[in-house]
Amino acid sequence: MIGLAAVAGYLIGSVPTAVWLGKLWGVDLRRGGTGNPGANNARRLGGLPLALLVLIVEMGKGLAAVTAGFAIGSEVGGVVAGVGAVIGNVYNVWYRFRGGKGLGITGGVLIGLWPAAFPVVVIVIVLASALSRSTGIGSLITLGFLVVAALAWEFTGLDNPWGVGDHTLLLPLALGLSPVIAPRHWRDARARLRSSPARP
């Protein structure tokens, strides 16, 4: 059942909704701008309305994958399907395993599995990206925060309002998401660090 949850999550995450929405908007997210089929590139090519639409749909896919995982294999199935959805988004089988960067869909996964952490994660990534002037650096900082938060949550024993009730599953969730998302953002972060002027 866990394997089925992983496959279901992957297939849901790999549906190229951002590309479809871009084409309906009259732009090709895979060819224009950065070539990334995500909300940032959608904003660059189609404006804020398209970016918000792409973000909402991507988050919806993450939540749908988690819901399917719960139905297939309870809480463990939800975690596995959530991570699978992010893998499907980043390593998309329909585009030769080249997909998005996984941030939008991760938001939906967190809403389904760890809703109490979602608003804090949003604040962290916004502040970290603004201070570093790099979404890549901000994303890496946020992933590190997510792992630390999962460890802290497990030891404090705080309750989730909904989603995963077993605190021991939050750390595997954070550790499962991080290596999937980090490589794409590390490239952006490295490019930003290289372009920064050297300080005397």
Residue 193 has pLDDT above 70, yes or no: no
Report which DSSP code applies to 163. Answer: S
Confidence of residue 194 (pLDDT cuts 50, 70, 90): low
Q: Name the maximum alpha-carbon separation found in the chain.
A: 58
Q: Higher-confidence residue: 185 or 125?
A: 125
Judged by DSSP in three states, 158 sits in: coil
Residue 2 has pLDDT above 60, yes or no: yes
| pTM flag (> 0.85) | yes
Q: Record the tokens describing residue 61, joined without a space.
A: 């896919």
pLDDT confidence of residue 95: 85
Reported in sequence order, the residue ranges of the chain that DSSP labels E, i.e. its strands, are none
pLDDT tens string 132-145:
888 888 899 999 99
**Mean pLDDT on 81-93:** 95
Calculate the alpha carbon distances from 8 to 57, 83, 120, 174 in Å. Answer: 17, 11, 28, 20
Number of Cβ within 10 Å of residue 162's Cβ equals: 12
CA-CA distance, 130 to 141, in Å (whole number)? 12
pLDDT tens string 137-171:
889 999 999 999 999 988 887 778 888 888 889 99
